[in-house]
Amino acid sequence: MRLLLSLPSGVLVDAPVRKVVAESERGAFCLLPRHADTATVLVPGLLSYLDEHGDEVIVAVDEGVLVKVGEHVRVACQRAVVAGDLGSAEAMVRERFQTQNEREKHARATLLQLEADILRRLGELRS
C-alpha cells in the first residue's frame, strides 16, 4: 500500500506501508492491502503505520478524512506531526500544536484589529 498524508501546507508523508491504524468516531481500525475500499472521518488522535521495513511510525493527527482506494490510502487533515515512536509522541504534539494555536490566536487578533480600524475609518468618512 502507499500512504499519502497531506496538510494544507503540503505533503507530510508519502511512503509505502504494510499497515495503517487510525481512529474514527466509531473506534480504532486497521487497514491492510487487501481490505475493502473505505472512506471515514478521523478524530484527533494517533495514526500509526508500519513502513516497508516493519518499523512502526506514529503520527499525531487532528480531525481529518481518510480514503482507501485499492492500494492507496490518502489522509487529509489540518494539522499533523510525525512523532516517530509512541514515547515521544505526547511531548511533540503538545509543543507543536500549542505553537500553532498561539500563531492562530495572534492572526485572529491582528485580523480583528484590522477590521476595527476599517470600521473606524469608515465612520470618519461619514462624518
Q: d(Cα 32, Cα 18) in Å, to the nearest integer?
A: 7
Q: For residue 109, what pLDDT band results from cuts at 50, 70 and 90?
A: confident
Domain covering 2-126, topology: ATP Synthase; domain 1 (2.60.15)
Q: What is the pLDDT of residue 85?
A: 66
C-alpha cell at 16: 509505502
Is residue 91 over pLDDT 70?
no
Q: What is the pLDDT of residue 123?
A: 83
Q: d(Cα 117, Cα 16) in Å, to the nearest integer?
A: 51
Q: For residue 90, what pLDDT band results from cuts at 50, 70 and 90?
A: low
Is residue 92 over pLDDT 90?
no
Which residues, in sequence order, are CB contacts of 41 under 8 Å at separation 6+? 24, 25, 63, 64, 65, 66
Q: What is the pLDDT of residue 60?
A: 86
Q: d(Cα 25, Cα 112) in Å, to the nearest integer?
A: 34
Say how many residues make up the chain: 127
Mean pLDDT, the chain, whole residue set: 87
For cell 491582528, what's the residue? 110
User: How confident is the model over 11-34, as a mean pLDDT?
Assistant: 94
Strand 45-51, strand 38-42: pairing: unpaired
Q: What is the pLDDT of residue 68?
A: 97
